[in-house]
Amino acid sequence: MTKIERGNKFTGSFYLSDLVTKFRFTVNAIDTKGRIGYTQSSVQTQLPFYLLFELPPAMTVGDILTIPVTVKNNGPNTMTYSITAETERNLFT
């Protein structure tokens, strides 16, 4: 609990985890006259660059694999990407 004097403003700091996720903040307040206040806000954390892809849970011999890949650049600069996938020869023998 934090007591806020005149001005009705509070400034604080905290650390977020390394997770790429959304954090929600909730503030409840009661003034000296018993009035109740409530607000909620959120912040989204993200990496400057990452790849998203999902492999199928199972395959059988002879299947053709298509892997959709999303390249996400959240940084301020334009980047050029090159993605290459390789497998070992005779992977299924």
What is the pLDDT at residue 91?
A: 62
What is the pLDDT at residue 67?
A: 86
pLDDT band at 90 (very low <50, low <70, confident <90, very high): low
pTM: 0.45
Pairwise CA distance, residues 2 & 11, whole Å: 11
Pairwise CA distance, residues 30 & 25, whole Å: 17
Task: Name which of 42, 6, 35 is nearest 21 in CA terms.
Answer: 42
pLDDT at 16 over 90: no
Pairwise CA distance, residues 84 & 24, whole Å: 38
